[in-house]
Structure 1
């Protein structure tokens, strides 16, 4: 069999250089360019972490912004915000919930005296409560603390979204938990408050609960009804928790949080949303207080 002539060394060198140049050429928008193209400027955005969210009349607060492999945009809040039980019904494996597809209104400036300004709308696409019931979840700690839902932002409103937490900035990524004594930072917009002056909150964690699925914390001021669902940051600005409950005992006015890393992992495993992930804020985290 005749020997086939191979490429000469100069030809090989040229081929390698060409391959390197091709590899260096941009094949799509960079992360920074993509963020600049997609997200509204933080100062002008009207749908952000901390946005007021109304579901069948019940008001809660959005925690963080999420996306997926198809570029769809979601805002997280508490699953109990779409629940059908009483305020004391906190077992997500036993309490009913509104169906997926339920419309959710995004608003700002809502108080007891005013419905506020509607800034967008979306649809409920994931509820940890509905999912746990579908799966037959039996772990008591998970049933009690896995309180997380996602609302997909309607396409006409995606241009109003910025993923930065008002006042604090971030999130800088996804955290793990909060150890007892660690500072935490949050932003809630309960319609029980006539102003947003008390929306930024900071406090300390009391430690993990529910076998790591929950975290207890004290903040000044404490989270109240309407703040439910709001996000909590750790001392490095990482998203770490979601507001679920207000305790009357044994730690009066403490707040019970869901561990976001665990809640998000549960959603990633069961929501049927490929590539579901947290979006980092475009604004730097600054614990100014």
Structure 2
């Protein structure tokens, strides 16, 4: 009975994506005349399309991470690649998985008036590139991009509602013990902000730098996958990929994909425009010291 209960708990928490839910539809506004991202210093509101909103595709719910742009007229929102695969949590190697097609345009983005379009998923890209099944890159490269509809560009905001930022894209490999902030929009948090926003630290470097193991003060749940991970000084570090359970000193931890590596892989392979960059914000509010 104990084993069955643990397996049930693992299934509930480990499931990367939960059921779908409806999104709100704010009044539609026009695209700024300059075609660029609005540059307001205001903290994002709950109605903005921003890091940490819910993304629903093919019945699965995940959390977005950061905003990216290849040009002033186009904005992508980052998600985890496994959010767009029916093989998620089935034991299938990502480099052999089934995935939604590029161009799939029935993706619900919270606070958007129009559905988004899948423009990139690392799981599909790695198969096209012929990556070796079972390799570190196949195991840890878990990143996707969804194009926000032009009608919704005036409602985007690059900062996270709980933290602000990001100040820049973190480059290199972060150190074990470094502080982090995380955000997840799982429906299982029931809108409780203290459970959505988390702080913690890096407890391990995985896959020769492709990912990190982190522990946070409150555990991530089904639907938090894809969410943003910040360094203590507000840089965009990673995106939530998977939750692990063990009997170690840190029994609940998250595997998070190195954002710099994931973005560079997409650009180097020609899967997205080489000029695609993270949309940053000039100020970052941590909400407290680590």
TM-score by length of 2: 0.79
Confirm or deny: 8 A CA contact 1:164 1:171 kept in the other structure.
yes
The answer to which of 40-49 and 172-181 deviates more is 40-49
3-state SS of 1:204 partner: strand
Question: What CA deviation, in whole Å up to 9, does each residue of 1:45-64 have, x standing for no partner?
Answer: 52100000001110000000
SS in 2 for 1:93: helix
1:288–1:79 CA distance, 2 compared to 1 (3 A): same
Closer/same/farther in 2, CA of residues 241 and 44 from structure 1, 3 Å limit: closer
d(CA) in 1 for partners of 2:273, 2:160: 24
Describe the shift of the 1:39–1:95 C-alpha distance in structure 2 as closer, same or farther (beyond 3 A): farther
CA distance in 2 between counterparts of 1:228 and 1:287 reads: 22
- 8 Å CA contact retained: 1:46, 1:119: no
Contact 2:46 2:161 in 1 (8 A): no
Worse overlay, 139-148 or 75-84: 139-148
Answer with 141-150 or 159-168: which moved more: 159-168
2:89 counterpart of 1:87: yes
RMSD of aligned alpha carbons: 2.5
Residue aligning to 2:262: 263
TM-score normalised by length of structure 1: 0.79
> What runs of 5+ residues in structure 1 fail to find an aligned partner?
1-30, 109-117
Contact 2:225 2:242 in 1 (8 A): yes
Please name the residue that 1:132 is paired with. Answer: 126
Cα distance in 2 between the residues matched to 1:44 and 1:80: 25
How much has 1:195 moved relative to structure 2?
Answer: 1.7
| Structure 1: distance between partners of 2:275 and 2:162 | 29
**1:176-195 Cα deviation digits (max 9, x unpaired):** 33311111001110012212
CA distance in 1, matches of 2:225, 2:103: 20
Q: What's the CA shift string for 1:74-132, capped at 9, x where partnerless? A: 00010000011142436321211111112210126xxxxxxxxx654210000000000
Counterpart Cα distance in 2 of 1:185 and 1:196: 16
1:226 aligns with one of 223, 227, 230 = 223
